[in-house]
Amino acid sequence: MKPKIYISRKIPSRFIEPYKDSWTIEMWPEEDEVVERDVLLKHAREADALFTTLTEKVDRELLDQAVNLKGVANLAVGYDNIDVEYAREKGIVVTNTPDVLTDTTADLTFALLMATARRIVEAEAFIRSGRWTTWTPFLMAGADIHHKTIGIVGMGRIGEAVARRARGFEMNVLYHNRSRKEEVENNLGVQYVSFDELIRTADFVVSMTPLTKETEHMFDDSVFKKMKSSAIFINTSRGGVVNEEDLYQALKNHDIQAAGLDVFRNEPIAENHPLLKLDNVTALPHIGSATYETRSKMIELCLKNIDHILKGEEPVTPVQ
Ligand code: NAP
């Protein structure tokens, strides 16, 4: 009997074509709607492997019912939507999509940093709404990027790629991790500092850490108060690393200058969310890795991981 695969979001059929003869594949038919929980659970009960996205909770409830499940391939490098420890206990392999999205996400992070500093989105809305009456000395004036100090919290794959871009802008690069990376320091000319020093001295504070119990709400009121009042906060990691109410207050009270956010605690963020009412927020709908090339590579990698798992081989990118 062929193994059963459930794909929790519609993906183009060309990706599954190579596997059609070997697997019985079922797929949620909507591209822009999250799979209903009971549909996911029903398929999880029968599936040998699941192809999931970050909108699905792969939790104890699901894993307890998934009696045939051998693997979960998550279409993201982050896997905070999955109870990885419990899956491991059950002998279920979890995979993610590192590396293939690193440069793409770093590009977006830097684009968001630049857009926030130079008020690109606000300026574009300004011109379209017919408010541009004349040149003025400080019309849409923002903050310089070149030669400033960027502090990267989470100097992993994407953090390093952001640092390389920052060096191209002749920025001074600080970073903080739980562990020091001396080779990266030597190769990229970046400096390790404590979290406290980073948030106090950086002009741009960029969050690139995964969301874990340790990093949840690591950017809160006490942190925003220590930042420079000219600091710009960029988050392309996960919304949960920030206390959004505290961020809102910090931006509203001008404790910090601006924020560029690609991720939110609850996604999609509500249209009437207070953060979206602020001019000093540049907000994007979680598009860090969203290019045709990279999303295609991510999908192919998920399917390859499932193929390896079902053949009893080591997957290409297991979550360790
Ligand atoms: P990675 O290579 O695992 O890097 C994560 C870094 O965070 C590591 O250097 C790690 O270093 C550091 N870190 C972990 N816990 C920390 C803590 N408590 N305090 C300080 N640093 C900590 O992961 P990646 O591939 O760069 O991806 C990073 C994250 O970006 C993902 O987890 C995902 O959430 C997010 N992401 C978002 C998008 C998007 O669309 N916006 C796209 C891709 C990825 P230590 O272990 O030494 O602390």
Per-residue pLDDT of the chain (320 residues), as tens digits, is: 999 999 999 999 999 999 999 999 999 999 999 999 999 999 999 999 999 999 999 999 999 999 999 999 999 999 999 999 999 999 999 999 999 999 999 999 999 999 999 999 999 999 999 999 999 999 999 999 999 999 999 999 999 999 999 999 999 999 999 999 999 999 999 999 999 999 999 999 999 999 999 999 999 999 999 999 999 999 999 999 999 999 999 999 999 999 999 999 999 999 999 999 999 999 999 999 999 999 999 999 999 999 999 999 999 999 99
User: CA-CA distance, 165 to 106, in Å (whole number)?
Assistant: 8
Amino acid identity for residue 222 in this structure: S
Ligand 1 centroid – CA 210 distance (Å): 4
Q: What CATH number was assigned to the domain covering residues 4-99+292-310?
A: 3.40.50.720
Predicted pLDDT at 3:
98
Predicted pLDDT at 100:
98
Predicted pLDDT at 274:
98
Q: Where are the domains of the chain?
A: 4-99+292-310, 102-283
Q: Which two tokens stand for residue 150?
A: 């960027």
Which residues line the pocket of ligand 1, CB cutoff 6 A?
Answer: 77-78, 98, 101, 105, 153-159, 176-179, 208-212, 214-215, 236-238, 262-263, 286, 288-289
The residue from 89, 267, 313, 314 that is catalytic is 267
| Alpha carbon of residue 236 to chain centroid | 5
User: Is 238 among the residues known to form the active site?
Assistant: yes
Predicted pLDDT at 9:
98
Atom of ligand 1 nearest to the CA of 263: 41
The CA–CA distances, whole Å, from 259 to 79, 162, 283 equal 24, 17, 8
User: Is 164 among the residues known to form the active site?
Assistant: no
Counting ligand 1 atoms within 8 A of each CB, the residue from 158, 164, 195, 262 with the most, and so the one to mutate, is 158
Q: Is the peptide bond before 98 cis (omega within 30 degrees of 0)?
A: no
Q: Which residues contact 273 (CB under 8 A, 6 or more apart)?
A: 264
Predicted pLDDT at 218:
98
Predicted pLDDT at 117:
98
Atom 33 in ligand 1: which residue has the minimum CA distance? 78
Predicted pLDDT at 287:
98
User: Is 197 among the residues known to form the active site?
Assistant: no
Amino acid identity for residue 150 in this structure: I
Do the domains spanning 4-99+292-310 and 102-283 agree at the CATH topology level?
yes
Ligand 1 centroid – CA 3 distance (Å): 33
Q: Is 37 left (phi over 0), alpha (psi -120 to 50) or beta?
A: alpha
The residue from 238, 244, 265, 308 that is catalytic is 238
Q: Phi and psi dihedrals of 198, rounded to 5?
A: -60, -50
Strand partners, 283: 261
Atom 40 in ligand 1: which residue has the minimum CA distance? 288
Do the Cβ atoms of 242 and 265 come closer than 8 Å? Answer: yes
Residue 289: half-sphere exposure toward Cβ, Cα within 13 Å: 20
Q: Which CATH number fits domain 102-283: 3.90.79.10, 3.20.20.70, 3.40.50.720, 3.40.50.1000?
A: 3.40.50.720
Do the Cβ atoms of 315 and 308 come closer than 8 Å? Answer: yes
Strand partners, 41: none
